[in-house]
């Protein structure tokens, strides 16, 4: 943990080392980890203050699972001065903060994985009435396969149905920018060479 006493004298790179759970800056060159950890994450955007009752309910859920936690990142300020349509990232003005729901476990706890993931999904379901909706937005860097995945296999071409299906996560991650990104994908990568479980599909020829 970063203590108050060393907060002022800590450099940015030292804070990166601390947050990564490492000891020395030189440890950042080590691309392997000492232990195998697993995690599940989901995300939300909060646009209006959460009620006192809602926060109490969230705290009760958190206390039921010591391995779970949340990270809240404030939004607004300088980032809100850039229009939501001026870059692919739309979540700028109008959001108070984002929430990342997290739970992680070690290989020794592998038998607990289903319980941990179920707890996280229940927490996410509870928070539904306190966060953005239509669509319920999500942060693309907290990849959440619960939102849906592409149906294709390697070598298959995308279809109109694939483009519509990808809205399940495309609208959550990119809001109104999804259709523009489909057009960009179609122009740059019409054969869908670069793809993953939640990549944006090109329009069919």
Tell me which of 101, 139, 142, 178 is the catalytic residue: 142
Question: In the annotation, is 142 catalytic?
Answer: yes
CB 66 within 8 A of CB 95: no
Helix H, strand E, coil C: the string for 114-133 is HHHHHHHHHHHHHHHHHCCC
CB 22 within 8 A of CB 35: no
- Beta strands 68-74 and 97-106 are antiparallel
What are the b/e assignments for 70-85, b being 16+ CB within 10 Å?
A: beeeebeeeeeeeebe
Catalytic residue annotation: 142
């Amino acid at each position: 943990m970063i203590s108050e006493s060393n907060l002022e004298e800590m450099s940015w790179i030292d804070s990166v080392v601390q947050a990564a759970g490492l000891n020395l800056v030189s440890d950042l060159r080590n691309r392997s980890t000492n232990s195998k950890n697993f995690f599940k994450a989901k995300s939300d955007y909060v646009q209006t203050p959460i009620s006192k009752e809602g926060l109490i309910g969230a705290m009760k859920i958190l206390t039921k699972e010591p391995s779970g936690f949340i990270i809240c990142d404030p939004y607004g300020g300088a980032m809100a001065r850039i229009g939501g349509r001026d870059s692919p990232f739309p979540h700028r003005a109008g959001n108070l903060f984002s929430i990342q729901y997290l739970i992680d476990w070690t290989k020794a706890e592998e038998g607990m994985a289903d319980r941990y993931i179920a707890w996280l999904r229940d927490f996410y379901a509870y928070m539904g009435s306190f966060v953005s909706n239509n669509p319920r937005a999500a942060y693309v860097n907290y990849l959440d396969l619960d939102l849906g995945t592409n149906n294709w296999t390697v070598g298959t071409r995308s279809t109109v149905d694939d483009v519509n299906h990808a809205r399940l996560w495309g609208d959550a991650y990119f809001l109104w920018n999804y259709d523009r990104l489909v057009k960009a994908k179609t122009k740059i990568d019409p054969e869908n060479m670069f793809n993953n479980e939640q990549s944006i599909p090109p329009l069919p020829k």
